[in-house]
């Protein structure tokens, strides 16, 4: 969304450095015109203190924020002091305020446009839709005063612009990961989701041209350009993360001693201080780090450990956490990929095993679930939320070569494969057989479904029993199977 964080910081610092600047600034902007949440709160409290005739020095401001519980939300005393220290002159305060006001106006215009487009999609009555939209434009024009020309010009072309073809999305990975998006990869433990996303990141940083490697079958995705990638790891020790990346590089032909300066990859493992998306100062540090490095993709492993003390089942708290992550995307243009662990698959629900509040998924641009094929290193990646071009399910296979005589991996890569999602078919076959043969045992089940590999049959049956769809009511080691009866 349109905004200018530097202008917001400059205005806040100028007002605190010279309180007389407040009146001309306040004639141009209001607290809600700021984009960054800490800046909204801080400017609102500065306005209150000014109206009360109190000084706008750091001590008074910090005490007010602390009293109402907003000091940490605003970045703490260190961040507030930095706003003042960064100001060389207050002479440009009004100009910066106009920048903030213009960006806010564009955001409100965007909101009007989005509401208009939703009305078109829902086939609302055209007369009512246009009347409501023009009323909103008129109200915004009155609010904007001298800047009404921008919105008036926009409104006159709005309908025509909505039917113009949109410019093509720039992609990090074509038809999969657009630039400047917030996405999530979820899956159970052991589903290879982290390795898959790290492999993709290494491919982008190395300029592979495509991901995954082309196998005998299956789909690959084009990597149009090489970009700097950052992996921010809070889930594995440094030695494991480094070895994971090293294995991927060896899988691309690099050997010990090769020059890796051309691989635009930066990795952090358990950084200190830890990343905390509930803490404003931490979010701002992270934003500046991405800007400094020039990253276009950041992989965060995992959401659970960067959410601070937020309860993952609390929509409000997780909304703030994911909203702060989104603000980093908006500020930097860097796509952020969140890795999130699922609980066990739930009965009859694809993606229904998602852990935590639905607000997490609601606030990302798109989400994909990773499922590991039974008894293999192939994984199925299925979209469960999409906002841009439709993403079709695809499969990749984890391939590796080990160090001879050890269990240590040496080279790893992913290649395209075709994988049928056998789980649902096997589950259905077992359920139907047990329904038709109540009180059968496992041996009878295996004979009746002899076409299904025994290992896959047994692992799927075990899962069905764990989930409660199938009951094993036999005494001791004797199995008696039946479909669980569901009450009214």
**Does 269 lie in the same domain as 410?**
yes
Domain end among 417, 433, 458: 417
For 258-315, strand residue ranges (E) read: 265-269, 297-301
Provide the CATH number for the domain around residue 227. 3.40.50.300
- CA 204, distance to chain mean position in Å, is 18
**Domain CATH for 449:** 1.10.10.10
What string of DSSP letters covers 452-469? Answer: S-HHHHHHHHHHHHHHTS
pLDDT 10s digit of each residue in the chain, 488 long? 788 888 999 999 999 999 999 999 988 899 989 988 889 999 999 999 999 999 998 899 999 999 998 888 888 888 899 999 888 888 889 889 989 988 888 888 888 877 887 777 777 787 787 878 787 777 776 666 544 444 444 444 554 555 455 567 799 999 899 999 999 999 888 899 999 999 999 999 999 999 999 998 889 999 999 999 999 988 778 888 889 999 999 999 888 767 777 788 998 888 788 899 988 888 989 999 999 999 999 999 989 889 988 888 887 788 888 888 988 998 899 999 999 987 654 433 333 355 666 668 778 888 998 988 767 889 989 887 776 666 778 899 999 999 888 888 999 999 999 765 455 678 788 988 998 898 899 999 999 998 888 877 887 888 788 767 888 888 777 888 988 765 44
Smallest CA-to-CA distance from 365 within 340, 335, 395, 402 is with 335
Note whether 311 and 328 are same-domain residues. Answer: yes
395 and 478 in one domain? no
Per DSSP, the three-state class of 73 is coil
- Pick the last residue of a domain from 110, 133, 164: 164
Phi and psi based region of residue 200 (left: phi greater than 0; alpha: psi -120 to 50; beta: remaining): alpha
4 domain-assigned: yes
* Location of structure tokens 């979209």: 383
Which residue from 278, 366, 274 is spatially nearest to 322, judged by alpha carbons?
278
Q: Are residues 479 and 405 in the same domain?
A: no
Kindly state whether residues 318 and 264 are assigned to the same domain. Answer: yes
Pair 327, 434 in one domain: no
Do residue 368 and residue 273 come from a single domain?
Answer: yes
Task: Give me the pLDDT at residue 280, please.
Answer: 85
Q: Is residue 454 part of a domain?
A: yes
Residue 162 CA to residue 120 CA, distance in Å, equals 10
Domain count within the chain: 3
What span, in angstroms and rounded, lies between the C-alpha atoms of 79 and 216? 55
Say what the alpha-carbon torsion angle 404, 410, 411, 414 is, to the nearest 10 degrees.
100
Strand runs labelled E in 101-193: 171-173, 177-178, 182-187
Tell me, yes or no, whether 404 and 442 share the same domain. Answer: no
Considering the domain architecture, whether residues 219 and 83 belong to the same structural domain is answered as no
Last residue of a domain, one of 145, 164, 183: 164
In a domain, 311, yes or no: yes
N-to-C CA span, the chain: 49
Examine residue 212 and say whether the peptide bond preceding it is cis (omega within 30 degrees of 0). Answer: yes
Q: Are residues 411 and 432 in the same domain?
A: no
**Does residue 488 form part of some domain?**
no
Predicted confidence at residue 456, as pLDDT, reads: 76
Q: What's the whole-model pTM score?
A: 0.60
Q: Of 64, 110, 92, 73, whose CA–CA distance to 6 is shortest?
A: 92
Domain span at residue 430 reads: 422-483
413, 310: one domain = yes
Residue 476 belongs to a domain: yes
- At residue 150, the pLDDT reads 46
pLDDT the model gives residue 471: 87
Question: Does 314 map to a domain?
Answer: yes
Same domain membership, residue 342 and residue 370: yes
Could you give the C-alpha distances from 478 to 64, 248, 441, 453, 474, in angstroms and in order? 70, 47, 8, 22, 5
- CATH at residue 107: 1.10.860.10
């Amino acid at each position: 969304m349109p905004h200018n964080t530097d202008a917001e910081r400059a205005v806040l610092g100028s007002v605190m450095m010279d309180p007389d600047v407040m009146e001309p600034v306040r004639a141009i902007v209001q607290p809600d015109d700021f984009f960054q949440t800490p800046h909204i709160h801080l400017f609102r409290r500065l306005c209150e203190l000014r109206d009360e005739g109190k000084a706008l020095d750091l001590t008074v401001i910090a005490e007010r924020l602390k009293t109402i519980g907003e000091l940490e939300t605003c970045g703490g005393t260190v961040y507030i002091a930095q706003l003042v220290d960064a100001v060389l002159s207050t002479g440009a305060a009004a100009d910066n305020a106009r920048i903030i006001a213009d960006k806010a106006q564009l955001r409100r215009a965007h909101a009007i446009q989005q509401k208009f487009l939703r009305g078109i999609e829902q086939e609302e009555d055209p007369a009512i839709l246009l009347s409501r939209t023009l009323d909103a434009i008129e109200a915004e024009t009155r609010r904007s005063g001298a800047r009404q020309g921008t919105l008036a010009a926009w409104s006159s072309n709005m309908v025509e612009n909505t039917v113009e073809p949109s410019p093509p999305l720039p992609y990090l990975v074509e038809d999969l990961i657009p630039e400047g998006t917030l996405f999530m990869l979820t899956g159970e433990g052991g589903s290879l989701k982290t390795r898959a996303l790290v492999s993709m990141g290494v491919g982008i940083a190395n300029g592979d041209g495509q991901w995954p490697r082309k196998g005998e079958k299956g789909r690959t995705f084009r990597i149009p350009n090489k970009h700097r990638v950052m992996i921010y790891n809070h889930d594995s020790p440094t030695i494991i993360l480094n070895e994971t990346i090293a294995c991927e590089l060896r899988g691309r032909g690099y050997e010990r001693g090769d020059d890796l300066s051309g691989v635009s990859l930066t990795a952090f493992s358990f950084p200190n201080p830890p990343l905390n998306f509930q803490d404003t100062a931490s979010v701002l540090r992270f934003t500046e780090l991405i800007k400094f490095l020039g990253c276009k993709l950041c992989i965060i492993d995992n959401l659970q450990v960067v959410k601070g003390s937020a309860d993952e089942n609390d929509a409000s708290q997780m909304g703030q956490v994911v909203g702060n992550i989104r603000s980093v995307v908006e500020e930097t243009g860097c796509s952020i990929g969140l890795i999130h662990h699922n609980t066990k698959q739930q009965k009859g629900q694809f993606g229904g095993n998602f852990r935590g509040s639905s607000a997490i998924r609601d606030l990302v641009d798109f989400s994909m679930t990773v499922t590991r094929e039974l008894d293999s290193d192939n994984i199925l990646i299925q979209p469960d939320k999409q906002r841009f071009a439709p993403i079709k399910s695809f499969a990749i296979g984890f391939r590796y070569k080990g160090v001879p005589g050890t269990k240590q991996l040496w080279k790893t890569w992913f290649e395209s494969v075709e994988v049928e999602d056998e789980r649902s078919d096997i589950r259905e076959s077992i359920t139907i057989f047990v329904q038709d043969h109540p009180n059968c045992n496992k041996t009878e089940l295996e004979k009746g479904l002899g076409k299904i590999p025994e290992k896959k049959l047994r692992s799927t049956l075990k899962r069905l029993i764990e989930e409660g769809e199938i009951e094993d009511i036999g005494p001791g080691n004797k199995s008696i199977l039946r479909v669980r009866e569901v009450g009214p």
